Amino acid sequence: MREAVRAATRTLREAGVPEPEASAQVLMSELLGVRRGEVLLREEPLSPEDAARYERWISRRLKREPVQRILGYAYFRNLKLYLNEDTLIPRPDTESVVEAALERIDARPLRVLDIGTGSGAIAIAIAQERPGCEVHATDISRRALEIARRNADLNGARVRFHLADLVSGLRLPGGVDLLVSNPPYVDVRGAQRRLAPEVREWDPPIALYSGEDEYAFFRRIFEETPEVLKEEADVVLEVGDGQSQKVLEMGEERGFRPLGTRRDLAGDVRAVLLRWEGGR
């Protein structure tokens, strides 16, 4: 086992694949169901089937396919979430968006809406960590919703999923107390330059790109969501690097009071917080 991991790490490193050790170790630990720390301690040889499978996985990683796509699932907070080609790989960055949302919820049972739920990451994490909340989630992709439903079931979380373009056609009488979203926020023109092949070639375009205007989804969210918001509803949005100030200003112009920002684990501003006051 140890020799196979070392050889794979060398091959990946020589090919310039990012994080070669992590890729080689995680794939082995998931293949055999052992802890990552153990894969460099165990000397027993792999069975021919396992060796062949590991080799196939390493060849896929050599083509810059992300580890989570090779496995077909990703870990997010304490959830295991299955993926398909219509779902974004949930990012550790987005955990800070969940933290910010949980902070707004405190212990109060609220009605929460996650727009563009993908694998269900944000909605399922909130439903699981605050079981008193009524959690709804939308996506425009039917196939993403199929897997999000399955992820909710597998993780024992109750989330109501809706196929919708943002909130159009959604009926939530009385409105929601908390809106959370990680919308597409990459402008398609800069993408070739800025995104790593793992993202550009493997994440679904509909999850990444907001057209030629990186702020298009934020604009739509501020214009279209008030119809489903209770007065004083909290809003937590994930933003891209350098976007927070402009998003807060855009919200303010549409009647949302800016409350602040939150950083992700890498120290970058990743979430903006606002409150809907426009009904006044």
Ligand X SMILES: C[S@@+](CC[C@H](N)C(=O)[O-])C[C@H]1O[C@@H](n2cnc3c(N)ncnc32)[C@H](O)[C@@H]1O
CA distance 9 to 20: 5
Listed ranges 140-148, 170-178, 228-236, 260-268: which one lies at the site for ligand X (CB under 6 A) = 140-148
Residues in 170-189 at the binding interface with ligand X, rule: CB under 6 A? 182-184
Residue 238's DSSP bridge partners are: 271
Q: Which is nearer to ligand X, 89 or 233 (CB)?
A: 89
123's tokens? 């909605």
Listed ranges 46-54, 104-112, 132-140, 240-248: which one lies at the site for ligand X (CB under 6 A) = 132-140
CA distance 183 to 131: 24
Of 4, 27, 28, 88, the residue at the interface with ligand X (CB under 6 A) is 88
Q: Which residue is listed with tokens 């969210």?
A: 221
176-181 and 111-115: which strand pairing? parallel
**Residue 261 assigned as binding residue:** no
Q: Shortest approach of ligand X to residue 127 CB, angstroms?
A: 13
**Residue 116 assigned as binding residue:** yes
Of 4, 135, 207, 271, the residue at the interface with ligand X (CB under 6 A) is 207
Q: What contacts 169, CB < 8 A, 6 or more positions away? A: none
Residue nearest ligand X by beta-carbon distance: 116
Residue 60 Cα distances to 74, 107, 246, angstroms: 17, 44, 39
Kind and range of the H or E run holding 256: strand 256-263
Q: Which residues bind ligand X (CB under 6 A)?
A: 88, 90, 94, 115-119, 121-122, 138-141, 144, 165-166, 182-184, 206-207
Point out the annotated binding site for S-adenosyl-L-methionine.
116-120, 139, 182
